[in-house]
Amino acid sequence: MRILKIQTLRGPNYWSIRRHKLIVMRLDLENLAETQSSEIPGFYEGLVEALPSLEGHYCSPGCHGGFLMRVREGTMMGHIVEHVALELQELAGMQVGFGRTRETATPGVYQVVIEYLNEEAGRYAGRAAVRLCQSIVDRGRYPKAELEQDIQDLKDLWRDASLGPSTEAIVKEAEKRGIPWMQLSARFLIQLGYGVNQKRMQATMSDKTGILGVELACDKEATKRVLAATGVPVPKGTVINFLDDLEEAIEYVGGYPIVIKPLDGNHGRGITIDIRSWEEAEAAYEAARQVSRSIIVERYYVGRDHRVLVVDGKVVAVAERVPAHVVGNGRSTIAELIEETNLDPNRGDGHDKVLTKIELDRTSYQLLERQGYTLNSVPPKGTICYLKATANLSTGGTAVDRTDEIHPENLWIAQRVVKIIGLDIAGLDVVTTDISRPLRETDGVIVEVNAAPGFRMHVAPSQGIPRNVAGAVMDMLFPNEQSGRIPVLSVTGTNGKTTTTRLLAHIYKQTGKVVGYTTTDGTYIGEYLVEAGDNTGPQSAHLILQDPTVEVAVLETARGGILRSGLGFEAANVGVVLNVAADHLGIGDIDTIDQLANLKSVVAEAVYPDGYAVLNADDRRVAAMAEKTKANIAYFTMNPSSELVQKHVQKGGVAAVYENGYLSIVKGDWTHRIERAENIPLTMGGRAPFMIANALAASLAAFVQNVTIEQIRAGLKTFRASVSQTPGRMNLFNLGNYHALVDYAHNPASYEAVGAFVRNWTTGQRIGVIGGPGDRRDEDFVTLGKLSAEIFDYIIVKEDDDTRGRPRGSAAELIIKGITQVKPDARFESILDETQAINKGLDMAPANGLVVILPESVSRAIKLIKLRGLVKEEIQQQ
Ligand code: ATP
Ligand code: ATP
Ligand code: MG
Ligand code: MG
Ligand 1 environment, Cβ below 6 A: 235, 259, 261, 265-269, 271, 273, 298, 300-301, 305, 390-392, 429, 431, 447-448, 450
pLDDT digits (tens, 9 = 90+) for 538-548: 899 999 999 99
pLDDT of residue 876: 45
CA pair distance 517, 522, nearest whole angstrom: 8
Q: Which residues pair with 429 in a beta bridge?
A: 307, 448
Q: Region 355-375: what's the mean pLDDT? A: 88
User: What pLDDT sits at residue 24?
Assistant: 96
Mean pLDDT of the chain: 91
Q: Is the pLDDT of residue 200 over 80?
A: yes
Mutate to test the pocket of ligand 1, among 390, 395, 449 (most ligand atoms within 8 A of CB): 390
Whether the CB-CB separation of 535 and 523 falls below 8 Å is answered with yes
Average pLDDT over residues 825-851: 92
DSSP state at residue 365: H
Measure the CA–CA gap between 197 and 145, rounded to whole angstroms. Answer: 51
Q: What is the pLDDT of residue 665?
A: 96
Please give the pLDDT value at position 56.
82
User: Is 688 within 8 Å of 496 (Cβ atoms)?
Assistant: no
Q: How far apart are CA 293 and CA 264, in angstroms?
A: 9
Of the candidates 176, 166, 481, 453, the residue with the CA atom closest to the CA atom of residue 315: 453
Q: Are 606 and 572 in contact (CB under 8 A)?
A: yes
Q: How far is the CA of 257 from the centre of ligand 3 (A)?
A: 19
In a 10 Å sphere around its CB, with 0-12 CB exposed, 13-18 middle and 19+ buried, how is residue 381 labelled? exposed
239-259 pLDDT, tens digit per residue, is 999 999 999 999 999 999 999
Segment among 264-273, 417-426, 556-565 with least mean pLDDT: 264-273
Residue of 204, 227, 258, 261 to test ligand 1 pocket, by largest number of atoms within 8 Å of CB = 261
Enter the ipTM.
0.90
**Is the predicted pLDDT of residue 875 greater than 60, yes or no?**
no
pLDDT band for position 730 (cuts 50, 70, 90):
confident
Give the pLDDT confidence score for residue 102 in this predicted structure: 92
pLDDT value of position 722: 66
Q: What is the mean pLDDT of residues 5-18?
A: 95
Q: Is the CB of 858 under 6 A from ligand 2?
A: no
Residue 725 has a pLDDT of 63
* Selected residue with higher pLDDT from 355 and 320: 320
Q: What is the pLDDT of residues 658-679, one digit of tens each?
A: 999 999 999 988 999 999 999 9
Measure the N-to-C terminal CA separation of the chain; round to a whole number of Å: 59
Residue 684's pLDDT is 85
Residues 22-55 have pLDDT tens digits of 999 999 999 998 888 888 898 989 998 888 888 8
- Report how far ligand 4's centroid is from the alpha carbon of 519 (Å): 6
Lowest mean pLDDT among 3-7, 126-130, 185-189: 185-189
Instruction: Give the residue from 816, 810, 741, 831 showing the smallest Cα distance to 783.
Output: 816
Half-sphere exposure of residue 151: CA atoms within 13 angstroms, side-chain side: 16
Model pLDDT, residue 815: 95
Q: Which amino acid residue places its CA nearest to atom 12 of ligand 1?
A: 268
pLDDT of residue 518: 95
Indicate whether this model's pTM tops 0.90.
no
In this prediction, residue 872 carries a pLDDT of: 55
Residue by residue, DSSP assigns 394-438 as GGT-EEEE-TTT--HHHHHHHHHHHHHHT-SEEEEEEEES-TTS-
Is 690's C-beta closer than 6 angstroms to any atom of ligand 2? yes
**Cis bond before residue 257 (omega within 30° of 0):** yes
For position 352, what pLDDT does the model report?
66
Give me the phi and psi of 248, to 5 degrees please: -65, -40
Atom of ligand 2 nearest to the CA of 693: 27
Residues less than 5 Å from ion ligand 3, measured at CB: 429, 448
Q: To test the ligand 2 pocket, which listed residue (494, 495, 517, 696) has its Cβ within 8 A of the most ligand atoms?
A: 495
208, pLDDT greater than 80 = yes
CA of 342 to the centre of ligand 3 (A): 23
- How large a percentage of the chain has pLDDT more than 70? 98
Q: What is the DSSP letter of 427?
A: E
Type of residue numbered 249 = A
- pLDDT band at residue 868 under the 50/70/90 scheme: confident
pLDDT of residue 175: 94
Do 481 and 690 meet the contact criterion of CB atoms below 8 Å apart?
no
Coil, strand or helix: which one is 781? helix
- Phi, psi at residue 748, to the nearest 5°? -55, -40
Name the pLDDT band for 870 (thresholds 50, 70, 90).
Answer: low
Asked whether residue 781 carries a pLDDT value surpassing 50, the answer given is yes
* Residue 600 main-chain phi, psi, to 5 deg: -70, -25
Q: CB of 754 closer than 6 A to ligand 2?
A: yes
> What pLDDT was estimated at residue 744?
83
Q: What percent of the chain has pLDDT over 90?
A: 71
Q: What is the pLDDT of residue 724?
A: 66
State how far the Cα of 335 lies from the Cα of 340, in Å rounded to an integer.
Answer: 9
Angstrom distance (rounded) from CA 634 to CA 113: 33
Rounded-to-integer distance, Cα 191 and Cα 454, Å:
19
Q: Highest mean pLDDT: which of 416-430, 453-467, 861-875? A: 416-430
Question: Is the backbone of residue 342 left (phi > 0), alpha (psi -120 to 50) or beta?
Answer: alpha
Mapping DSSP to helix (H, G, I), strand (E, B) and coil, where does residue 52 land? helix
Average pLDDT over residues 182-194: 89
pLDDT of residue 871: 65
Mean pLDDT of 268-289: 90
Q: DSSP label at 823?
A: -
Residue 579 near ligand 2, beta carbon < 6 Å: yes
Q: Is 758 helix (H, G, I), strand (E, B) or coil?
A: helix
User: What is the mean pLDDT of the segment spanning 585-601?
Assistant: 88
How confident is the model at residue 838, as a pLDDT? 94
Q: d(Cα 721, Cα 733) in Å, to the nearest integer?
A: 14
Helices (H), ranges, 186-235 = 211-218, 220-229
Ligand 2 closest atom vs CA 502 = 11
Q: What is the 3-state secondary structure (H, E, C) of 226-287?
A: HHHHCCCCCCCEEEECCHHHHHHHHHHCCCCCEEEEECCCCCCCCCEEEECCHHHHHHHHHH
Q: Are 624 and 588 in contact (CB under 8 A)?
A: no
Query: Is 432 in contact with 303 (CB distance < 8 Å)?
Result: yes
Residue 877 has pLDDT above 50, yes or no: no
Shortest-distance atom of ligand 2 to CA 495 = 6
Q: Nearest bound ligand to CA 583?
A: 2
Lowest-pLDDT range of 7-11, 342-346, 481-485, 488-492: 342-346
Res 497: pLDDT: 93
State how far the Cα of 119 lies from the Cα of 161, in Å rounded to an integer: 9
pLDDT tens-digit readout, 623-658 = 999 999 999 999 999 999 999 999 999 999 999 999
pLDDT in tens, 602-629: 999 999 999 999 999 999 999 999 999 9
- Sheet strands (E) in 56-152: 99-103, 109-115
